[in-house]
Amino acid sequence: MLLTRKAEFSASHVCRDPSLGDDENRALYGTNANPHGHGHNYVVEVTIEGDPDPVTGMVFDLRELKEIINAEVVDPMDHRFLNHEVPPFDQVVPTTENIAVEIWKRLHSRIDLPNAKLKNVRLYETADLYVDYGGEG
Amino acid sequence: MRLTRRYRFSASHRLNSNELTADENARLYGKCNNPYGHGHDYVLDVSVEGRVDASGQIVGRNALDELVQQRVLGHVDHRNLNCDLPELNSQVATTENLAFAIERMLARDWTLPARLARVRISETARNTFELETK
């Protein structure tokens, strides 16, 4: 069974590789490279795969899941400038792909029960663009 | 990793099969068989799958947008699918057939490093058709 919990955070970012010039960054990242940054209302959907616990009837305690997502993702990222305030994005370009990988890294060790594992992180940058990441290399 | 990008286009069509009589078409397709056609604001989701490159992306957004614009949107947006889309090969302009046509149009000259993974089209918010590509 799949269980999905949604959360939102609003953050600013800029996609620039400091080793590249303006033209190269513009070619790679388009308007995402504009130097002073811009923001999005990110939506993250965390999907867990597992079987309901025979006693509680739950795959994963939703209250605990909400607390984990808040502690690992929403609290550190909401209303922040990712490049300046949320490591590793001082070193790693905060593309949608890289933010999804970082969210996976923060969550997967905390969502790890014998009967329930983290299955997928879906991160919407806008309603028209999202990535799915399942921990693959 | 999979990245999904949403596009929109507006087009008209009429559902009518040359294999059926006028009465059979009217019964089968109902309002969708009305003689002068009708239109929808279609939503097209294109998914690509691949590894994140050194830039932190599976695919450059501009490259994907340009490809979808050139291969698909430029041929279907504000068009009549029955008259203006040779790729349908005179098939009935159902969204099922349209999904296969769009997959062919995208796949034919696919130049991106990431693999085309899925084509999903909503004819209206209530009807969605999804095609995983091989």
Active-site residues of B, by number, are 32, 78, 123
- Whole-model pTM: value is 0.92
The CATH code belonging to domain A2-133 is 3.30.479.10
The verdict on a CB contact (< 8 Å) between B58 and A97 is yes
Across the strands, what pairs with B4?
A130, B47
Residues of B in contact with A24 (CB under 8 A): none
Where are the domains positioned within chain B?
2-132
Ramachandran area for residue A59 (φ above 0: left; ψ -120 to 50: alpha; else beta):
alpha
> Selecting from 2.130.10.10, 3.40.50.2020, 3.30.479.10, 3.90.76.10, what CATH number does the domain B2-132 have?
3.30.479.10
Task: Please state, in angstroms and rounded to a whole number, the distance separating the CA atoms of residues B58 and B115.
Answer: 10
Per-residue buried b or exposed e for A94-119, using 16+ beta carbons within 10 Å of the residue's own CB: bbbbbbbbbbbebbeeebeeeebebb
Instruction: Write out chain A residues lying below 8 Å of B56, CB-based.
Output: 15, 92-95, 97-98
ipTM of the complex: 0.88
| Per-domain residue ranges of chain A | 2-133
Best to test chain B binding among A14, A83, A131, A136 (most B CBs inside 10 Å): A131
pLDDT digits (tens, 9 = 90+) for B96-108: 999 999 999 999 9
Within an 8 Å CB–CB cutoff, is residue A82 touching chain B? no
Give A14→chain B minimum CA distance, Å: 13
Which residue in the set B7, B56, B62 is minimally distant from A95, CB to CB? B56
pLDDT tens, residue order, chain A (137 aa):
999 999 999 999 999 999 999 999 999 999 999 999 999 999 999 999 999 999 999 999 999 999 999 999 999 999 999 999 999 999 999 999 999 999 999 999 999 999 999 999 999 999 999 999 999 97
Question: What is the per-residue pLDDT across B67-99, written as a single tens digit (0 to 9) for each?
Answer: 999 999 999 999 999 999 999 988 999 999 999
d(CA A28, CA B61) in angstroms, rounded, equals: 8
Helix segments in chain B, DSSP class H: 22-29, 61-68, 74-76, 81-84, 95-108
Residues β-bridged to residue B14: none
**Å from B125 to nearest chain A CA?**
14
